[in-house]
Amino acid sequence: MANLTHICLNFKIQSSVTYILLIAIMLLICFSCNDKGPKLQNSNTALLKSAYDHLKSGDSLLFKTANKKALQSSVRLRDTSGIAETDWNYAHYYAENEIYDSAYYYYYKSFKAYESVNDHYHTGKMLYNMAFIQSRFNDYRESEEKLFQAITKLKPLQKNTSLYRCYNLLGSIYMDIEDYDNSINFHNISLEYLKKVDQKKTFRSRHLK
């Protein structure tokens, strides 16, 4: 009987030790994951910056290579904003090269990604960019609709430069369809927003980056 009691006691002690070791291992794994998280995110941020820098440099091959890496990294991290940014980069690249169907496709992808994380500012900018392309092909009704959607997103955020561009493009659209009263009205509204822009510069109608 004494031996049985001794065996049971040893079993309980061993079980307790095993349990404690398992807890310790799990905690080490968690700490390791938490430590890697910021490092991976910082690496992803660096990849996104590299892609954008190559985009601005005009080197197509380096840009596409860097942007692909940034996209793959963002997908692995499930970084929706990072994915949206790489789509935006592609859109900007194609827009600059006047390949507008591809540009519109990637602006739309970026728009949906930003929309899914309730990023109203960048959602508004993507709406403007799609509207800009549609206005180039005289798709005025769709362009107008997207511009009003963009304004709804941007106005509460007081993004005056983007709002200036939206109203200015509306003015241009109404000028093209010979609705001169609305054209003058929207151009006047755009100028009111331009007055609120901190750093004045020469603007021209184009996509937003």
Confidence (pLDDT) at 171: 98
Superfamily covering domain 42-195: Tetratricopeptide repeat domain (1.25.40.10)
Res 207: pLDDT = 53
Check if the beta carbon of residue 183 is closer than 8 Å to that of residue 171.
Answer: yes
* Opening angle at CA 204, ends 200 and 207, nearest 5: 110
The whole-number pLDDT of residue 9 equals 46
Query: Going residue by residue through the chain (209 aa), what tens digit of pLDDT does each one get?
Result: 555 455 444 545 455 656 665 565 555 555 444 544 565 577 889 999 999 999 999 999 999 999 999 999 999 999 999 999 999 999 999 999 999 999 999 999 999 999 999 999 999 999 999 999 999 999 999 999 999 999 999 999 999 999 999 999 999 999 999 999 999 999 999 999 999 997 656 555 555 55
Q: What is the 3-state secondary structure (H, E, C) of the chain?
A: CHHHHHHHHHHHHHHHHHHHHHHHHHHHHHHHHHHHHHHHHHHHHHHHHHHHHHHHHCCHHHHHHHHHHHHHHHHHHCCHHHHHHHHHHHHHHHHHCCCHHHHHHHHHHHHHHHHHCCCHHHHHHHHHHHHHHHHHCCCHHHHHHHHHHHHHHHHHHCCHHHHHHHHHHHHHHHHHCCCHHHHHHHHHHHHHHHHCCCCCCCCCCCCCC
Q: What residue spans define the domains of the chain? A: 42-195
pLDDT of residue 103: 98
Task: Specify the pLDDT at position 41.
Answer: 72
For residue 11, what pLDDT is reported? Answer: 46
pLDDT given for residue 198 in this prediction: 77
Nearest residue to 111 (alpha-carbon basis) of 83, 139, 77, 132: 83
The pLDDT, as a whole number, for residue 25 is: 58
CA of residue 174 relative to chain centroid, distance: 30
Whole-prediction pTM: 0.78
